Amino acid sequence: VQELAFLVCGIGLFMRKAWARKGALIVIVIATIYVGNEFAWGFARGRPSTEIRLMSYAIVTAWYAIWFYLIYKPSSAEVLS
C-alpha cells in the first residue's frame, strides 16, 4: 500500500500538483514507522531484539529525513517569486 502511495505522490510531484507535497510528507511519516519494523525483522532474520529494532528505526528515520527535507524545502522558483 505504501508503495502505491509513494507512486501516486511522486507522479503528483512530477506534475506539480499542490496536494502532492503534503501527501508525500504524510506518507513519509507513516512509512517510517512501518518500514523501520520491516527492516528490523529482515535484518534480524526473525524476531528482532530491542537493540536491532532501535538501530533499524534510526537508519530508516535518517533515510526518510533526507527525503522529508528535500520535499519540504521550497524550490528556488518559489523562493525567487
Its pTM stands at: 0.77
Q: Give the type of residue at 1.
A: V
The model's confidence at residue 52, banded by pLDDT at 50, 70 and 90, is very high
The predicted structure's pLDDT at residue 2:
82
- Looking at the chain, the whole-number percentage of residues with pLDDT higher than 90 is 68
Whether the predicted pLDDT of 79 surpasses 70: no
Following DSSP, what letter does each residue of 17-58 receive, concatenated? -HHHHHHHHHHHHHHHHHHHHHHHHHHHTSSPPHHHHHHHHH
The pLDDT of 34-43, averaged and rounded, is: 92
